[in-house]
Structure 1
Amino acid sequence: MVTDRASGDEGDGGLGRARSVADGLEPAGGDDLATTLPESLTIEVALPAPVHEAPEEEAAVALVGTGVDPSVVAVLETNTTSISLSEPALAAATTPASPADTGSIAIADYSRRERMAGTDVGPESAAMLTADRLIDPRRGPRSAPEGAWQRFVYRTTFKRVNLGDSARVRARKELDARIDAVLEGGARFVPVLTRKGGVGKTTITTLLGMALASVREDRIIAIDANPDRGTLSERVTKQTRATVRDVVNKAASIQGFTDFTRLVSRDATRLDILASDTDPMLSEAFDENDYNVVADLAARYYSIVLTDCGTGIVHSVMRATLQRADSIVIVSGGSVDEARLASETLTWLEANGYGELVRNAVVAINTATQGTNLVKLEEIEAHFASRVRAIVRIPYDEQLAAGSVIHWSDLRPLTRQSARELAGIVIGGMPDREA
């Protein structure tokens, strides 16, 4: 209820008149006023609903684009949505972070995206000037194609038309990529073995090593672990007289890769060869413990270690070799007895707990052995296909048949291609291993 009192004239007379009107003793407008004012005047006014005022402790703080550091949270009520922050946190929330506070990594991660969205985040760091951001692949020069017809079109059109590589070149590059696949988790060991001698086991080891070393950028070594005087070192030009026995005797003094390379011979493809003992009186002395010493040193400096194993499959060196093996290559000749002995090698491995190695094995069939022309090689391949992962034929090559130094560049193209296929299959079947 609101009471309105009429105001009078200025001075005491006006004040007295106002009081008389309020008391109802005198007309408000004088003698000429028809009515008099009531004793009180009631006016109803619709006021808005009262607005709730949040207490000071519940005052909200707007955090625009700024995270809350958990270390400065003072109180967190699980039944409410308010967080009470200490004064340093409030100051940090209301003050924009400087580049020095956020660091270059945060700026590199967020500033370009936010800048494109129209947000001013300060200057960019140099880390944001990446090649992916700055270089337009459509404007860059394309490499000249490989292939007779593709190269002809490329040159006659003044490098305006690039048909790309030929199918053969693409296949070659794809095989290179398979051979050069990254292997995580340390050195990988690949024994090359069979129960029969004279089937080209040492030759296959050399070809496989050369095919790997000619493509891969890491280090490849082939170790002659034949306790019966192996001939692996005779497949490359000798650069040292050192053997596995010297590695065992000097193991404590080998402090780096340079020390180790003094004991090996290196081929033009960068394949390193570690020879076996040449003295037949000492050959039997190379046992399981000696092989482990050599293998431990080789694992320090090489990514792939090939082992040319002897025919003595029950020898202690064979046990140490198989325990380290990541994959195996079984060598078979093209005759009936050579194929049968190679299959019996797989049977022996399965019977002695190496079934997983057998299923992942690769059989290399050396077609340069005697009797190959009389045997159905496809039947040999069908037999091994039921037991192993892959089979590769190694064709006859005069340089390989000579049994002397092998020069990779002088081999027939088909021989090199077969060795490269063997290398790609071996690398492709390497089991995953944690780094």
Structure 2
Amino acid sequence: MPNGDNWQGDVLRDLRAPTPDPTQAQALDQAQAAAAQAFAQSLTAPADGAGQAHGQVPPQAAGQPADHGPPPPAVAPRSPDARPTVDRNLAALARKPRSGEPFATRAVRAVWKNVSKSAAREVAEATRTAEILQQPVTTGRQIAVTSIRGGAGKSTVAALLGTTYAHYRKDPVLFVEADPALGSLPVKLGAETVRWTTSDVADIVKPQMSLLDVTGYLVQLRNNSWLLPGSQGQIGAMLDARGYQRVMVALRRYFGITVVDCQTLPAEVARVALSASQARVLTTPATLDGVASTHEVLQWMRGLPPHVIAGTVVVLTEQTPHPGLDLDAAVRTLRSTGTPVHVLPYDRHLAAGGAIRTDLLTRATRTTATRLAADVFQLSQKRH
């Protein structure tokens, strides 16, 4: 197996040259697709294993001959028109972005940092975290972010995670929006327009393409990162599990880290994304019902193959300055399932919505996002 540095160098060279061996790449992608599909079926198959998921039978098993006819001629896809992520008339309603914490708080912290003896410890911890985030990978890591219900902050967490990886790493980072129903990830990432969507690219990307070919269908962001939107903002946009599998298998080999903003559970695409990823992030609001629902899901996950819950991290998102919940007790309860838990503190900048500017985030938000990214990355490295 090639080492991480060689893999990253090969990927970056793809920006200038085509992929050298399409036959091997296609065989690898087909094997990855088969493994992901088999595990996804295990999440929904009956406990006794009888029959296949959803009662489907392969045509060969039913006595139907396989079709070995010539493939249809390739047809160049029609390029869709670019659409703004937010209507320009509505965008004018937004106020100027403000810092996540008041000026007085920032001033006090600046003075404290200059006189505190713990400043050196903070620098040392930040250095250790950066070293973790910069570790090489031998194959692309896929990290799925989901939740039990809407409004749990999963798109915000996905944006923070991917932005952190793009800041610390040199290999390409991809954001995939697998939540096409009016998802907010493009807005949070500051994308002004979107064109190609996940469903579109599923039928376009081929193993013989170079990274330069692939990124032509993506939205380029900052710091060597790209976005694949789930829709162009249409109500009722759909993404099926098979299309999601095709696009993820095809894109995995081009990007060191892929962060997937999934549908909420128990949607089919979300289950497939969780099964195929190397690490999972489950977001929940810091409320009593949010913690209770998440605790039930974690108990259910303990009945799945051990690596599923072993590669899962929970993020409690504070959406008000003073949540009516004992956070320490909530964290202890969720950690009793054997799952790491992070608390994303309330941040005025995040609460306002719109594009996330890292320079306006509170220090606590940036610290939490970096520690979370490091923990999730380490978990993704444990599953090969």
Using structure 1 for the length normalisation, give the TM-score: 0.57
1:230 aligns with one of 177, 183, 188: 183
Letter aligned with residue 302 of structure 1 = F
Mapped to 2, the partners of 1:382 and 1:296 lie a distance apart of 37
Q: Alignment partner of 2:251: what SS?
A: helix
Higher relative contact order (Cα pairs below 8 Å, separated by 6+ residues)? 2
Residue by residue over 1:7-40, the C-alpha shift from the partner in whole angstroms, topping out at 9 and shown as x without a partner, is xxxxxxxxxxxxxxxxxxxxxxxxxxxxxxxxxx
Mapped to 1, the partners of 2:210 and 2:223 lie a distance apart of 22
The 8 Å contact of residues 155 and 184 in structure 2, kept in 1 or not, is answered as yes
Matched, 1:366 2:320: no
Cα-Cα RMSD: 2.6
- Decide which structure has the larger Cα Rg and report it: 1
- The verdict on how the C-alpha distance between 1:319 and 1:332 changes in structure 2, with shifts beyond 3 A counting, is closer
Residue by residue over 1:261-319, the C-alpha shift from the partner in whole angstroms, topping out at 9 and shown as x without a partner, is 222223334332211123546523x11111012101220211111111111x2333123
Matched, 1:260 2:214: yes
2:163 aligns with one of 210, 228, 235: 210
The 8 Å contact of residues 219 and 271 in structure 1, kept in 2 or not, is answered as yes
- The verdict on how the C-alpha distance between 1:337 and 1:433 changes in structure 2, with shifts beyond 3 A counting, is closer
Residue by residue over 1:167-215, the C-alpha shift from the partner in whole angstroms, topping out at 9 and shown as x without a partner, is 332221111001112223x111111111111010100010011111111
The 8 Å contact of residues 361 and 388 in structure 1, kept in 2 or not, is answered as no
The 8 Å contact of residues 237 and 265 in structure 1, kept in 2 or not, is answered as no
What does residue 330 of structure 2 align with? 380
Q: Alignment partner of 1:289: what SS?
A: helix
Runs of 4+ in 1 over 4 A off after TM superposition: 279-282
1:289 aligns with one of 222, 226, 242: 242
Per-residue deviation, 1:242: 2.0
1:188 aligns with one of 141, 144, 151: 141
What does residue 129 of structure 2 align with? 175
Q: Alignment partner of 2:369: what SS?
A: helix
What does residue 227 of structure 2 align with? 273
Per-residue deviation, 1:260: 1.9
What does residue 334 of structure 1 align with? 286
Using structure 2 for the length normalisation, give the TM-score: 0.64
Matches within 5 A, 1:19-418: 166-184=120-138, 186-238=139-191, 240-252=194-206, 255-278=209-232, 280=234, 283-284=237-238, 286-311=239-264, 313-351=265-303, 353-369=304-320, 373-418=323-368
Q: Alignment partner of 2:200: what SS?
A: helix
- The verdict on how the C-alpha distance between 1:253 and 1:350 changes in structure 2, with shifts beyond 3 A counting, is closer
What does residue 11 of structure 2 align with? none
The 8 Å contact of residues 166 and 224 in structure 2, kept in 1 or not, is answered as yes
What does residue 21 of structure 1 align with? none
- The verdict on how the C-alpha distance between 1:337 and 1:260 changes in structure 2, with shifts beyond 3 A counting, is same
- The verdict on how the C-alpha distance between 1:401 and 1:357 changes in structure 2, with shifts beyond 3 A counting, is same
Letter aligned with residue 267 of structure 2 = H
The 8 Å contact of residues 176 and 259 in structure 2, kept in 1 or not, is answered as yes
Q: Alignment partner of 2:289: what SS?
A: helix
The 8 Å contact of residues 333 and 369 in structure 1, kept in 2 or not, is answered as no
Per-residue deviation, 1:421: 0.5
- The verdict on how the C-alpha distance between 1:281 and 1:228 changes in structure 2, with shifts beyond 3 A counting, is closer
Letter aligned with residue 190 of structure 2 = T
Q: Alignment partner of 2:123: what SS?
A: helix
Per-residue deviation, 1:431: 4.2
1:425 aligns with one of 358, 367, 375: 375
What does residue 144 of structure 1 align with? none
Letter aligned with residue 326 of structure 1 = Q
Letter aligned with residue 170 of structure 2 = E
Per-residue deviation, 1:254: 7.6
The 8 Å contact of residues 359 and 387 in structure 1, kept in 2 or not, is answered as no
The 8 Å contact of residues 316 and 343 in structure 2, kept in 1 or not, is answered as yes
Mapped to 2, the partners of 1:228 and 1:357 lie a distance apart of 26
Mapped to 2, the partners of 1:267 and 1:255 lie a distance apart of 21
Number of residue pairs matched by the alignment: 268
- The verdict on how the C-alpha distance between 1:189 and 1:253 changes in structure 2, with shifts beyond 3 A counting, is closer
- The verdict on how the C-alpha distance between 1:254 and 1:237 changes in structure 2, with shifts beyond 3 A counting, is farther
Per-residue deviation, 1:369: 4.7
Per-residue deviation, 1:433: 5.3
Q: Alignment partner of 2:179: what SS?
A: coil
The 8 Å contact of residues 315 and 341 in structure 2, kept in 1 or not, is answered as yes
Q: Alignment partner of 2:168: what SS?
A: coil
- Identify unmatched segments of 5+ residues in structure 1: 1-147, 152-164
Mapped to 2, the partners of 1:362 and 1:171 lie a distance apart of 20
What does residue 77 of structure 2 align with? none
